[in-house]
Structure 1
Amino acid sequence: MIQGSLVALVTPMLASGEVDFSCLERLLDWYVEQGSNGIVAVGTTGESSTLDEQEHCEVIRRCVEHLDGRLPLIAGTGANSTREAIALTRCARQVGADACLLVTPYYNKPTQEGLYRHYRAIAEAVDMPQILYNVPGRTACDMLPETVGRLAPIENIIGIKEATGDLNRVTRLRELCGSDFALFSGDDASSREFLLLGGDGVISVTANVAPRQMSQMVAAAIASCGTEAEALDAPLAELHQRLFIEANPIPVKWALAEMGLIPEGIRLPLTWLSEDARPTVREALLAAGLV
């Protein structure tokens, strides 16, 4: 089972908006060195919604090739079209990704039955490990634990990234899905509590800028060392909040640029972090000892 601190990777871009593949490779090396447990490429934080299909597949391919087995690579392949999600998932399998992450279909608001059939269709079409992704704050679609429970017996659906921040769901999902079904937090602010309740890992925005600290905190929480995990999490608390002061990944890309790790590039309709918000994010980086 993939577990631990997984970096919800940004997609570095030049000022022109083109993907900066050299920078991408440097970031991957850094996360390996810093002790991260895995990489999640071209998810929400990776600006998947503004990459075309060719770019999407190329980022996955480059990540797989450069990591060369040093860390597991989970590819974001979700879409609000079942056919498109199948096509992206096939691409991820072809280039060697270890698993895929499939966000609930956004904008079109499917029913719980529609969600079940969507994910079942992808699982039946592509034989690779698949992780569900529930983030209703962005998709306007909430996949209920009971629907996840219906999907869990499908052999290649191996887990869920639960990003509601509702800690009551951890116990319910474990009851419905069993001990072998991976539960990942998708909410940095509540991830420590999520893990102490029995979660298996976190797919983290904060881990982009504080990979070692997140890896240490997550390891302590998974080991049920609550006091140690709390102490490790405390310096990151402001980051967990302030990296969402504007829409993700705007603040985290600015923070990485401030740390000298990526160029100042983002793709419309997202824009660079506003001047007024920069002191707030900088204070959080200082509190964590990152600048």
Structure 2
Amino acid sequence: MVGDPNPNSKRGKPDPQKIRCPHCAGPLTKEMETSEWTVPPLIRDSFSMIGSAVGGTAGAFYGFNHVKVRKWRPPRAAVIPNFHIPMRSYEVKNRTNVDEIKALRLISAIKTPYLPDGRFDLEAYDTLVNMQIDGGVEGIIVGGTTGEGQLMSWDEHIMLIGHTVNCFGSSVKVIDNTGSNSTREAIHATEQGLVFHFESVLQMGPTIVYNVPSRTGQDIPLGVIWALAQNPNLAGVKECVGHARVGEHVSNGLVVWSGNDDECHDSRRDHRGRGVISVASNLVPGLMREMMFGGKNPGLNARVLPLVKWLFEEPNPIGVNTALAQLGVVRPVFRLPYVPRAMEKRVEFVKIVEELGRESFVGDEEIRVLDDDDFFQH
């Protein structure tokens, strides 16, 4: 849980000099002198939530009109002790509007890299985000399943959000995952002390509903989503059930992003989907952008499918973590229970890269097969 919503908590008020991203950001709050805490300006200035119905995933949209760039220095810690952002009251300014969100076609569920000691590798993270931006990605999801938010402490999660917004908020839409396998925990974390249920999340700002029953164990009923659609803050649905479901949503006036890389081309071209929330775009953002913004291209789709199949033969993000390590973009570090793909599959990935062309992938290092001893696990 992120912090204590009670301003009179025995934990006391956070130290403005400690609440900072250890990589680049200054303090996340300038002052906390009133008895009623407010959201720090870094997050408050462009704050709006995305959420889920029961069993889905929640998050937040952030958009900023500036980027603070500082020379990189090694992180002092993965998180800062006692980092928490109570949200009993807040003021929303410059909110990303629903129409801006609906227009997004290519969103990457970004991978979170690690240092050998298990802390976040923010230098590699920044490089990967910049590769996404250069490849034409319009939004990134921070701390989703692909980004292993479920393996982060809330302190780590909030720090990574602040870092991403601070560094990249003017160049790409930053979407924070605040979901949880526990509905009560997800709602509490999203609302930071507010006691209302899911409708309260919708009231906070633009919302995307995630329907990923393979992960949540619950297929959100159509009637639930359509009822939520009456709220003007519902931007759309990430749908992983298939083309027929995408078509049903679109016929009812909803914006839909495919959550399946292997279906996103046909979903957009044949079933009127808006775009994709993609894992493969971590590796080949340019190709995924071409599929979303170019004309119908079954040939390109067929070329990319072997990569997508390889990525999802084991639970995500095992494939993308292994692939980015072999491309030299991130260090070969895994947080347990995730472990790298087997040696024969690592060899297979090298062949896939060679067939698609190394130039189609992120990074500029030569692709190589990593040995078992090359990997760190924490």
Q: Report the TM-score, using the length of structure 2 for normalisation.
A: 0.64
Distance in 2 of aligned mates of 1:162 and 1:119: 19
**1:157 alignment partner in structure 2:** 234
2:155 alignment partner AA: Q
Mapped pair 1:141 → 2:242: no
**2:278 alignment partner in structure 1:** 204
- Give the SS at the match of 2:172: coil
Instruction: Say if 2:249 and 2:255, in contact at 8 Å, map to a contact too.
Output: no
Cα distance, 1:26 vs structure 2: 1.1
Distance in 2 of aligned mates of 1:39 and 1:21: 15
Distance in 2 of aligned mates of 1:218 and 1:75: 22
2:347 alignment partner AA: P
Q: Deviations over 1:251-283 (max 9, x none)?
A: 111111111111111211111222232123322
Match of 1:5 among 86, 96, 106: 106
Match of 1:120 among 199, 203, 206: 199
Cα distance, 1:150 vs structure 2: 1.2
- Give the SS at the match of 2:119: coil
Cα distance, 1:249 vs structure 2: 0.6
- Give the SS at the match of 2:141: strand
Equivalences for residues 24-103 of structure 1 within 5 A = 24-90=125-191
Q: Which has the higher helix share?
A: 1
Cα distance, 1:87 vs structure 2: 4.3
Instruction: Give the direction of change, closer, same or farther, for the CA distance of 1:74–1:208 in structure 2 (3 Å limit).
Output: same
Instruction: Say if 1:82 and 1:118, in contact at 8 Å, map to a contact too.
Output: no
Cα distance, 1:285 vs structure 2: 2.3
Cα distance, 1:212 vs structure 2: 0.8
Instruction: Say if 2:109 and 2:282, in contact at 8 Å, map to a contact too.
Output: yes
Match of 2:292 among 199, 211, 218: 218
Instruction: Give the direction of change, closer, same or farther, for the CA distance of 1:3–1:68 in structure 2 (3 Å limit).
Output: closer
Match of 1:184 among 257, 261, 264: 257
Cα distance, 1:118 vs structure 2: 5.3
Distance in 2 of aligned mates of 1:138 and 1:279: 28
Cα distance, 1:152 vs structure 2: 0.9
**1:108 alignment partner in structure 2:** none
Q: Deviations over 1:163-199 (max 9, x none)?
A: 12x11011111123x1xx3211000001101111111
Task: Report the number of matched residues.
Answer: 254
Which structure would you say has the larger Rg? 2
Cα distance, 1:208 vs structure 2: 0.4
Distance in 1 of aligned mates of 2:146 and 2:177: 10
Mapped pair 1:252 → 2:331: no
- Give the SS at the match of 1:36: coil
Cα distance, 1:80 vs structure 2: 3.0
Instruction: Please list every run of at least 4 consecutive aligned residues from structure 1 whose deviation after the TM superposition is greater than 6 angstroms.
Output: none
Distance in 1 of aligned mates of 2:222 and 2:322: 35
Instruction: Say if 1:11 and 1:46, in contact at 8 Å, map to a contact too.
Output: yes
RMSD: 1.8
Distance in 1 of aligned mates of 2:128 and 2:314: 23
Instruction: Give the direction of change, closer, same or farther, for the CA distance of 1:2–1:79 in structure 2 (3 Å limit).
Output: farther
**1:241 alignment partner in structure 2:** 309
- Give the SS at the match of 1:279: helix
- Give the SS at the match of 1:246: coil
Q: Report the TM-score, using the length of structure 1 for normalisation.
A: 0.82
1:247 alignment partner AA: P
Cα distance, 1:68 vs structure 2: 3.1
Match of 2:245 among 153, 169, 172: 169
Instruction: Give the direction of change, closer, same or farther, for the CA distance of 1:2–1:85 in structure 2 (3 Å limit).
Output: farther
Cα distance, 1:83 vs structure 2: 4.1
Cα distance, 1:286 vs structure 2: 2.3
Cα distance, 1:136 vs structure 2: 1.1
Instruction: Say if 1:7 and 1:38, in contact at 8 Å, map to a contact too.
Output: yes
Listed as ranges, the gaps of 5+ residues in structure 1 are 92-116
Distance in 1 of aligned mates of 2:188 and 2:357: 42
Distance in 1 of aligned mates of 2:202 and 2:184: 12
